Amino acid sequence: MDLRLTGKVAVVTGASKGIGLAVARTLLDEGARVAAASRTTGPGLDALAGPGLLHVPVDLMDPAAPGQVVERAVQHFGGLDILVNNAGGPPPGATLPRFGFMTPTDDDWRDMFEFNLFSAVRAIRAAIPHLLARGGGSIINVSSVNARHPAPMNVDYNAAKAGMNNLTKGLSEEYGPQGIRVNSVSPGPVRTDWWTKDGGAADIIGAQAGAGRAAVIDKVAPEMMALTTGRLADPQEIADAVALLASPRSASTTGADIVVDSGFLKEL
């Protein structure tokens, strides 16, 4: 299926690995030009180098950074059609999961909202005038099923993502009549660096469960979260949903939250 993205210009944050890298690769494969924002590059992003890719090295904890990314994309490619707010998860220097409400400090809460919500707010604020100048476009916010599944684990992260879902709905109402569609994609557990790195979620859970990293990823975590498919999702599965929402083929989809969670959410 042709997603009709050839020549479109996209900004993707958190694009050096995991879901963001898969999104950047997928949009490039569909003919879009991509401004990929991340603190550093990496082998996966370097492999995509070409005239359609612009890497913008920024730290999204800096309030000025999201606007700088948007402006670099517009200057380099001549406009903007798609914004993918993918950057999220543990802020720089933090490790998740964290257990219990009393664990995160005020600084932890501030950093979590700065990285997972405020960076998206600032990117959207910078992007909207450029999207309007093109007659509309698409904003996709990468949220999380945890926004809809309150729990005493990662309470600050869950609250930030709930805020992102609310923001998505509000923006879709305000800007839909002007041609800007705003949607979210909510992944469940995804086989990314968050899980697989040294000291990551699999190691933390494994220390409590008495299991190794591979066993946690392949068995303990899917069973603990009652994943219907029995496995963590692949980043490409999230990227496919993002690309479809970015496409004009989703012209009547706005204000939606697309869940790609291996069957984690059981609620209607």
Q: Strand (E) positions, the chain? A: 9-13, 33-38, 53-57, 82-85, 137-142, 180-187, 257-260
Q: Which of 157, 175, 194, 264 is catalytic?
A: 157
Q: Is 157 a catalytic residue?
A: yes
Burial string for 84-120 (b: 16+ CB within 10 Å, else e) reads: bbbbbbbbeebebbbeeeeebeeeeeebbbbbbbbbb
Closest by CA to 31, choosing from 55, 45, 10, 54, is 10
100: phi > 0 → left, psi -120 to 50 → alpha, else beta; which?
A: left
Nearest CA to 138 out of 171, 96, 170 is that of 171
As annotated, the active-site residues are 157
